[in-house]
Amino acid sequence: MSRKRKISPIYHDYEEVEMNDEITRPGNNSDNDMINEMREKLEEALDQAKNGKCSNAEAKYLKELREYLYNAQQAECPGIVFDQCTIELPRNSIAGGESPPLITAVLNDPFFLRCCTTPTEVDAVTPCGTISNACMVNEVRATGYINYYLSFELDTFLNNGESNCSALNTLPFSCSDTTCVDEILCYTGLDAEESCPDFCNENVLSFGFICSTCNTGNKLTVTYVIVHILPNCDDMENS
C-alpha cells in the first residue's frame, strides 16, 4: 500500500546512528571540515541520481548546489554560515520505505541581514617580510540574522484510524529557527565604491543535510545541519 509523494525529497539513503553510538554535531568540526562533508554528501547524492534514485529536477538541483558551493569556496572570504535543527518523527507511524531526505532545500528570510563597512588595520606582505598593521582597508561584514524553514513530506498512517488504520496520509514535517550572522565577506580599499552585496532576491542560498539520526523505540530523531551561503563582494561587482 503506497502512493507517490506530492513533494519528493532530494535524496533519502542515510546511515542510522544507534543510541549508544557517537553522534556527530556541527560544533565538533571546523568550517572547512563541514564544507568537505557537504561536498562528499553531494557527490554521494549525485551518484545515486545517476542510478535513477531521484527525479531530473532533483538531480539538476544537486548539480546547481555543487557549483554554488564550489564558487563560494573559491572566494577569498567564503561567506558560509552553519546552524542546526532537530526534528522528531513518530517512527512506527511512518509508511515503510519512507525516510527524511539526506539533502533538502531550505527557505530563508535574509531581510534582517545588514552590511557593515569598517576601516581596519591589516598587515602588509612585502618581498622583505610582513609588516604588521601597515595599512588601512575596509572590512565588509554581514551581520544580523536569517530566519529559515526546513520542510519535507512523508507518507504516514496518521489517519484517525481510517481503513482499519491502514490509510496513508501525506503530511509535512518541519523545523524553523533563526541563524545569527557575523561573517566577513571581503576587504576593499578605503576609496573603493560600494561593495555590499544584495542579500535579497534569492542571493542567499540555504539548504540542509542530515548529520545524525537517533532511533529510540518509536521515536526517530533527525538532526540537520543548516547551511546558508551568502553572496560575496564579487556578486556586487558583477551585478
Give 16-85 as a DSSP string: ---TTS----GGGS-HHHHHHHHHHHHHHHHHHHHTTSS-HHHHHHHHHHHHHHHHHHHSSS--EEEEEE
Identify the pLDDT of residue 211: 83
In a domain, 162, yes or no: yes
For residue 142, the cross-strand partners are: 115, 183
Q: Residue 28 pLDDT more than 60?
A: no
Identify the pLDDT of residue 37: 76
Percentage of residues in the chain having pLDDT higher than 90: 41
In a domain, 228, yes or no: yes
Residue 138's nearest CA partner among 182, 196, 185, 187 is 187
Most confidently modeled range among 86-100, 173-187, 209-223: 173-187
For residue 93, the cross-strand partners are: none
In a domain, 160, yes or no: yes
> 79 versus 194: which is more confidently predicted?
79
What domain range includes position 130? 26-238
Query: Is residue 110 very low, low, confident or very high in pLDDT (cuts 50, 70, 90)?
Result: very high
In a domain, 186, yes or no: yes
Grid coordinates of 91: 517512527
Residue 14's nearest CA partner among 168, 152, 106 is 152
Query: Is residue 236 very low, low, confident or very high in pLDDT (cuts 50, 70, 90)?
Result: low
- Rounded to the nearest 5°, which phi and psi values hold at 90? -80, 90
Q: Residue 24 pLDDT more than 70?
A: no
In a domain, 214, yes or no: yes
In a domain, 9, yes or no: no
Q: Residue 79 pLDDT more than 50?
A: yes
Q: Give the mean pLDDT of 90-119.
A: 91
Question: 31-50 and 56-74 helices cross at what angle (nearest 10)?
Answer: 150
Neighbouring CB atoms inside 10 A of 23's CB total 14
* Average pLDDT of the chain to the nearest whole number: 80
Q: Whole-angstrom Cα distance, residue 48 to residue 9? A: 13
Query: Is residue 169 very low, low, confident or very high in pLDDT (cuts 50, 70, 90)?
Result: very high
In a domain, 14, yes or no: no
Identify the pLDDT of residue 23: 34
At 229 the three-state DSSP class reads strand
Lowest mean pLDDT among 42-46, 109-113, 222-226: 42-46
Which value, to the nearest 10 degrees, does the dihedral of the CA atoms of residues 108, 39, 211, 175 take? 10
Q: Whole-angstrom Cα distance, residue 221 to residue 210? A: 11
The helix or strand, by DSSP H or E, that contains position 89, with its residue range, turns out to be strand 80-90
Identify the pLDDT of residue 52: 66
Considering its fold, how many domains does the chain have in total? 1
In a domain, 5, yes or no: no
Query: Is residue 8 very low, low, confident or very high in pLDDT (cuts 50, 70, 90)?
Result: very low
Q: Residue 10 pLDDT more than 50?
A: no
